[in-house]
Amino acid sequence: MHALVAERNSQLLGLVHYIFHRSTIAPTSNCYLQDLFTVEAARGQGVGRALIQDVYRRAEAARCARVYWLTHESNSTARALYDQVAENSGFLVYRKTLPL
């Protein structure tokens, strides 16, 4: 896993975690953006966009074919940004929680 942070004047503004992984359907690797967070006071100031763009640059340097991530359909604030920097694939996620 890789991580990046955004800071201003030694104060944390945001962070992102991402993972490079192989694919079963393509010869190249992909990059999964696992977590993106910006502090509330920094939202709307380009912090999230800058972190995503930095992940794009690093994924391209690692010769990944794509960067992708998930968000909840109700996350309208984040989706407003995501709709500007990526395309919505239209896929839905299905899961089943298993007992431990």
What single letter denotes the amino acid at residue 26? A
pLDDT at 92: 86
Tokens of 57: 């640059």
Among 3-7, 10-14, 18-22, 91-95, whose mean pLDDT is lowest? 91-95
Across 69-89, average pLDDT: 95
Structural contact between residues 19 and 31, judged by C-beta atoms closer than 8 angstroms: yes
Question: Taking the model in full, what pTM does it have?
Answer: 0.92
pLDDT at 15: 98
Tell me the CATH class for 2-85: alpha beta
C-alpha to C-alpha distance for 4 and 86, rounded to whole angstroms: 19
Instruction: Give the confidence band of 10 by pLDDT, cuts at 50, 70, 90.
Output: very high
User: Between 76-85 and 47-61, two packed helices, what is the crossing angle to 10 degrees?
Assistant: 40
Give the start-to-end residue ranges of the domains of the chain: 2-85
